[in-house]
Amino acid sequence: MEDIYFRKIMTSVILITLAVLSFLLVKPILLSIIFGILLAFLFTPVYNWFYKIIKSKNISAFLVCFLLILLIVLPLWFLTPVVIDQSIKIYISSQQMDFVKPIKSIFPAFFSSEEFSTEIGSIIHSFVTKSTNKLMNALSTLVLNFPTLFLQSIVVFFTLFFVLRDKEEMILYIKSLLPFSKEVEGKLFKLSKNITSSVIYGQIVIGIIQGLLLGLGLFIFNVPNTLILTLLACLAGVFPIIGVAIIWIPVVIYFLIAGNTFPAFGVIVFGLVSSSIDNVIRPIIVSKRTNMPSSLILIGMIGGLFLFGILGLILGPLILAYLLIILEIYRKKRTPSILTQ
């Protein structure tokens, strides 16, 4: 009897030790692995389309990875010099810009006091200067950390390839480890798939589309530093409630102050279209029954951004969603769920 207990204890100790060592081993590349899994989820429809034609898992997964590499490498090759050039221009302009004058022209009564105007201008100048400094530091960090980023990218694409190819076997293996009944297991996977689609397609993809559409308008009307503003618009579009309006409204104000009413009107049109296009696209690609409240998505994104960096924009809402899924399954009540709108 004592021998059986000793074996169980030793087995548990060995298992825990190996689990901890494995976590420490994977920790430096954990976010890259998760990102690869999310990309596999995103590009599964493309993989399925290739597989229907080619009937080979390896070739289909390879083609998806190859196309994704082209989609990433080619824009980086051509656009990186432009981004760096526009970032330097924005940085130099921010150091020389007079922030008090345009504000006075919009709110003359509110800024009648010269001391108050100077103080507000100093605060805005400090904020803009710090923001542009962070932008330049981020770009220099990307350049200096290129070898690390390259290795992380290799992990992402290896993960993408194997998850696309072996996803059915992986799902069966995960199900074999779960301590739930078949009924709960089925609900868990169904809700997880639906809510992941809601976050990735309904928030991330649509937000990027909104940013690109606004960027097209900025390009058409010759807005300065269009590429940087488009990237910021894509990032802002991902956030619920905030949206791309935080980009195009200041651009419109800039044109109106400069007396350029025609481009201001054009940017307003593109801004309104890009801000409202999610009402058209979202019902097409996302089930209404699995939407997360915008407030929860925003909280998850902000918290995830602080905890995981840029990848936290996806991971944050998903972590909250999966917690709520577990709670909903064990709640076993017919009252309205928090995961619907």
Specify the higher pLDDT residue, 71 or 3.
71
**Does 340 have pLDDT greater than 60?**
no
Rg (CA), the chain: 25
Give the chain's mean pLDDT.
Answer: 78
**Does 53 have pLDDT greater than 50?**
yes
User: Average pLDDT, stretch 288-297?
Assistant: 66
- Position 39 confidence tier, pLDDT thresholds 50, 70, 90: confident
User: Average pLDDT, stretch 22-40?
Assistant: 85
Residue 84 tokens, joined: 């760096």
User: Average pLDDT, stretch 39-49?
Assistant: 87
Specify the pTM.
0.72
* Torsion sign, CA atoms 134, 137, 143, 149: negative
| Residue 245: per-residue pLDDT | 83
On the 0-12 / 13-18 / 19+ scale of CB atoms within 10 A, 247 is: buried
Q: How confident is the model over 233-264, as pLDDT tens digits?
A: 888 888 777 778 888 888 887 777 777 788 88
| Residue 99: per-residue pLDDT | 63
- Position 175 confidence tier, pLDDT thresholds 50, 70, 90: confident
| Residue 341: per-residue pLDDT | 45
Q: How confident is the model over 133-158, as pLDDT tens digits?
A: 777 777 677 767 777 888 888 888 89
Q: How confident is the model over 105-136, as pLDDT tens digits?
A: 666 666 666 666 667 767 777 777 777 777 77
- Position 161 confidence tier, pLDDT thresholds 50, 70, 90: very high
Specify the higher pLDDT residue, 27 or 240.
27
Highest mean pLDDT, choosing among 28-42, 141-155, 184-198: 28-42
- Position 283 confidence tier, pLDDT thresholds 50, 70, 90: low
| Residue 103: per-residue pLDDT | 63
Angle at 121 between CA 115 and CA 123, to 5 degrees: 105
Domain boundaries of the chain, sorted by first residue:
34-177, 182-341
Specify the higher pLDDT residue, 306 or 285.
306
Please report which residue ranges of the chain form alpha helices under DSSP H: 2-26, 30-54, 57-96, 100-106, 114-144, 146-177, 182-199, 206-220, 226-238, 245-258, 261-276, 278-285, 294-308, 312-331
**Does 49 have pLDDT greater than 80?**
yes
Percent over 90 (pLDDT), the chain:
1
- Ramachandran assignment for 332, one of left (phi > 0), alpha (psi -120 to 50 degrees), beta (any other): left
| Phi and psi at residue 277, to the nearest 5° | -65, -25
| Residue 335: per-residue pLDDT | 43
